[in-house]
Amino acid sequence: MISSQNVSKQPDLSIDKSNQSISCVDLFCGAGGLTHGLTTGGINVVAGIDLDPECRFPYENNNTAQFIERNVHDLVKSDLDILFGDAQIRLLAGCAPCQPFSTYSRNGRKQRNDKNWELVKDFGRLIRETQPELVTMENVPQLLSHQVFNDFKRNLKGYKVWCELVDCDSYGVPQTRQRLVLLASRLGSVKLMSPAEFGQPKITVRQSISKLPTINAGDSDPKDPLHKASSLSELNLRRIKASKPGGTWRDWDEELLADCHRKTSGQTYPSVYGRMKWDAPAPTITTQFFGYGNGRFGHPKQDRAISLREAAILQTFPPDYKFVESDKRITFDSLGRLIGNAVPVRIGEVIARSLINHVKNLNSTP
């Protein structure tokens, strides 16, 4: 059980009193993408919960909420009651990991299904047990057509529910990223604000990362250790030099092709070993974005894959968001997972503003 003595008082977020009435607990909080967006949008996030200890530093260093290293499966109603305290309006938020849908987890998928569906089920169980006034979930689009999502929605009896697939680039996330967003309220009808209401224009790769210092493959910026690019083999360096922004490996000379490209099955993966386009959104940032051969993750101009910092910016994290302590070693696998799995910060902001408007509209109704 979470002890009330371990729940520190949260700093004043300097927002309107009506906004402060919404307090949030962020399940599966990761490095803090959703929390940071919700806070920026005006919601008081009191805690983030995640099983991964590597999330603690980025979460607590960049956010006012406390980080609780805990398996959501082990949480019970009393734990959340302690965290919410006497909050007027409680928001339970989260993005339960759904690895069975990941293109990087196809091997052994059958064995992992039950375990991963349990995370979605636990989210639903906590909603049913605590009956928060507001709920939001962000997840992969494929979840919409799966039975586990229908089961999840059964926990929302008594709620007004809005749920749609959202094109993140319409809200100023510089990625062609589509996500499932759900909002639910026991207070009345609720919906996500439209892109026009949010008012953020589409943003390109050039607008996002072109001003960062030039670095070579395998190097990092001495002023920002996170602006670090993975190294390239001599062959892959030749390949990226032969690649055009927005092009494919089909543009290469025959001698540069990999064995998989010569097979029939390889013809269906034109975006691997690709470069991004300057004046378009980036592809969806995955946990493997730092590898040139893992997708269209080549820098539009420099002969390397995008850096960790560039990926974080494309996920709309602030350019000074700290992911590791200054004396810690930068590891691509660990930070790739933290950055790639994050909810884009701006999507969290859209959700926050939508829910705050929802509450204000209810309060203004005669």
Residues with a catalytic annotation lie at 98
SS3 345: helix
Helix ranges (H only) for 131-188 are: 147-153
Amino acid of residue 60: E
| Cα separation, 82 vs 122, whole angstroms | 18
234 in Cβ contact with 204 (< 8 Å): no
- How far, in Å, CA of 71 to CA of 27, rounded? 10
> For the CA atoms of 17, 128, 193, 180, what is the dihedral angle to 10 degrees?
140
Q: Is the Cα dihedral 158, 349, 3, 10 positive or negative?
A: negative
Across the beta sheet with 89-94, the strand order is 66-69, 44-50, 22-27, 89-94, 134-139, 178-185, 160-167
Task: Say which residues have a Cβ less than 8 Å from residue 201's Cβ, sequence separation at least 6.
Answer: 172
Task: State the number of CA atoms in the 13 A half-sphere of 271 facing the CB.
Answer: 10
User: Token digits for 235?
Assistant: 């062959």
Listed in sequence order, the residues at least 6 apart from 132 whose beta carbon sits closer than 8 Å to its beta carbon are 80, 84, 90, 91, 92, 186
